[in-house]
Structure 1
Amino acid sequence: MTLSSLKLPDELNYIGVFLTLECSLNCSYCINDPEQSGRRSSLFPIEAKSVRKGLSPAEWATALSRIPFRSDLPITLQGGEPMLYWGGKGLGLILTEVPHYFDLLTNFALQPDVFVRNLNGQQAKLQRDAPYPSIRVSYHADEMNRTWHGRGFDELVSRCEALKDLGFKVSSLKADSDVGIYMVEHPDNVVTPEMRATYAERVPFETKEFLGVHAGKLYGRYLYPFSADLISRGIHPTPLACECKTTELLIDPMGFIWGCHFYLYDAWRQGGLVQEFAAIEAVNFQYIHHGAQIFAGRPIAPIGHILDPDFSMDKLDTFRPCYQYGRCIGCDTKIKNDRFQSYADRGVPHTSVKIRNIRMPAHLLGKIENLEQCQPFIDPLAWDESKHG
């Protein structure tokens, strides 16, 4: 099957491909969990071996071939644990068929020699010229210590360092290294002196901002008020309505395209789109023509399907009604740079989604810090009601 090339908008910031949502670890904190409640092992209950859980490598190659090659916009492979996709051999099967550069988000589930052997000689596609490593390895202390008998961090550093003898650049300077280790700054995570001594002069190591609620406190800086803590901190009993659109191309394991990370994760939390995938596959993935019927009755539906011959990128450039405001995943609404460094260079905050017309109850408006700055995001009717209430 050959599909037409997609026209990428210049402002597209990120392409995220979730090859699988299966994982070898069961971390107490996992970004895939919309409620961050330590339920990783039971979050995606697709267990039957006969159930199709995602696109094949050949289908992914067809899908990704639609995306024009751009050296400044890699495709980020993630999960779950992408090293485990297709019995561990899927990465190489995909990379062999497409010209793109890729970033890889992984917990390094495979031994280094097995990982590289499975790449089928395609290491160069994970070695783009960038100021940070293309292979970004996450450190999860409890689970990695359990898996590697108390030597979690030592083993992880050794696996990263071993790539030096397998065709990759490894340096303690992140701009000179193809691989680096990252740990979320969760309040329970601590960088110990022993860890510093272990990674020093060997591989890059950094911490990343923790986003979300822990022990009743919200962590992170967000553009939209109460977007990540409305429900989790009991600020309001139900999510709010708004309009939202994405600035990213997010594709789940079955090829469905989503408007935000919450929608993607929550659909899989409900058991995955097994029946819907079978139905869309039966009509040649023509989501635009058949999606409304197939997803009738589901409160959350994707934007499209990457194998739909009629899918185009302008489908992302539409504000859609959403009734889940306040349950947002932190990475979608946090203030950050885009790939053009808009925030660092010009002070223009970027978020992964753009939100408008939030139906904010009047009694909550007084609780919003920087209320005047948030006014453009709030439904004018709600704003007027507060002024004349």
Structure 2
Amino acid sequence: MLTNFALKPLDFVSALNGNLGKLQRDAPYPSIRVSYHAVEMNRTWHGHGFAELVDRCETLASLGFRVSPQKADSDVGIYMVAHPDNQVTPEMEALYQGRVPFETKEFLGVHQGQLYGHYLYPYSTDLIARHFATTTLACECRTTELLIDPLGFIWGCHYYLYANWEKGGPEAQFAKLAARDFRYRRMQDDLFDPEQMRPIGHLLDPDFTIAALTEFRPCREYGRCIGCDTKIKNNRFQSYYDQGIPHTSVQMRNIQLPSALRRSLTEEELDRVAPYLAPLDGVTP
């Protein structure tokens, strides 16, 4: 669960309606991840935002949860985005140490012309934002996550989801789909134009299965990817930190990266991403 802990601890637990067990699991990290937002929380809690947040997390120990300074032994932990403007102060360290786990998470994206974050696929997030190219590139992509929008449509990546909803969302398509028993798999070509970004399914489609997530689909928006989709991260087994195996929310192949951009990569970088690139001029990268 991701939360900013706006509810007081007792209200938080009451809202779970007896389902505490679903947030208590044998995992190497907390299942309740509390996000710290300095400006908003200091405004709400009169300058004591972080102290109040630590207190609320610690109170969960008296309400049925495990709370420990070691993240592998705690059901709850506090996280802050490592934005250049965010700082972990000595006062914050004194408040959380020995009480609850606290970590910073990578800031993803471009800030003042600099790209932050570690990504598996080169230029996937900053190709356009940092003006390396004027148009996006082609690739094939599939998701490892179930991304569901408010209307029940299932999307292949966060960019497709966000871009569609910035235009108001597929409400017209939803109305037509609802009138036909949500048979999206049969109707998708009638609902969306061939060049239009479209969902990969609908949650209420009787024909939808998780197998739909395993299919690579053509995409022409490479370079506008949302950072959380292409960043290198751990999966639930902590595979990257423990085994050096990179995990990303989306998987890509046949990326049409032009020769000029390939030459900008170091030899080590090119070797690492070569399996994901399309052949260039008939030669395997």
TM-score (norm 1): 0.67
Contact 1:362/1:386 (<8 A) preserved: no
More deviation in 308-317 or 293-302?
Answer: 293-302
Deviation, structure 1 residue 346: 4.1
Runs of 4 or more, structure 1, over 6 Å off, are: none
Spell out the pairing of 1:316-335 with structure 2 (5 A cutoff).
Answer: 316-335=213-232
- Are 1:170 and 2:170 an aligned pair? no
- Are 1:384 and 2:281 an aligned pair? yes
Partner of 1:85: none
Partner of 1:192: 89
Q: Pick the aligned partner of 2:188 from 284, 291, 295.
A: 291
Partner of 2:57: 160
In the superposition, relative to structure 1, how do residues 384 and 268 fare at CA in structure 2: closer, same or farther (>3 Å)?
A: same
Q: Aligned letter for 1:207? A: T
Unaligned runs of 5+ in 1: 1-103
String of CA shifts for 1:112-160, please: whole Å, max 9, x gaps. Answer: 2222222211111111121211110111111222233322212222222
What SS is found at the alignment partner of 1:145?
helix
Spell out the pairing of 1:354-369 with structure 2 (5 A cutoff).
Answer: 354-369=251-266
Deviation, structure 1 residue 241: 1.3
Deviation, structure 1 residue 236: 0.9
Aligned residues: 282
Q: Pick the aligned partner of 1:209 from 106, 127, 130.
A: 106
Q: Pick the aligned partner of 1:233 from 112, 115, 130.
A: 130
Q: Pick the aligned partner of 2:270 from 371, 374, 380.
A: 371
For 2:195 and 2:166, how far apart are their aligned partners in 1? 13
Spell out the pairing of 1:302-313 with structure 2 (5 A cutoff).
Answer: 302-313=199-210
In the superposition, relative to structure 1, how do residues 379 and 143 fare at CA in structure 2: closer, same or farther (>3 Å)?
A: same
In the superposition, relative to structure 1, how do residues 348 and 199 fare at CA in structure 2: closer, same or farther (>3 Å)?
A: closer
In the superposition, relative to structure 1, how do residues 294 and 165 fare at CA in structure 2: closer, same or farther (>3 Å)?
A: same
Contact 1:362/1:385 (<8 A) preserved: no
Partner of 2:177: 280
Deviation, structure 1 residue 267: 2.2
Partner of 1:37: none
TM-score (norm 2): 0.90
What SS is found at the alignment partner of 2:115?
strand
Deviation, structure 1 residue 297: 6.6
- Cα RMSD of the aligned pairs, angstroms, is 2.1
Q: Pick the aligned partner of 1:338 from 210, 229, 235.
A: 235
Deviation, structure 1 residue 342: 3.7
What SS is found at the alignment partner of 1:262?
helix
- Are 1:266 and 2:163 an aligned pair? yes
Percentage of identical aligned residues: 64
Contact 1:184/1:208 (<8 A) preserved: yes
String of CA shifts for 1:194-217, please: whole Å, max 9, x gaps. Answer: 111122222211111222211111
In the superposition, relative to structure 1, how do residues 141 and 220 fare at CA in structure 2: closer, same or farther (>3 Å)?
A: same
Contact 1:342/1:349 (<8 A) preserved: yes
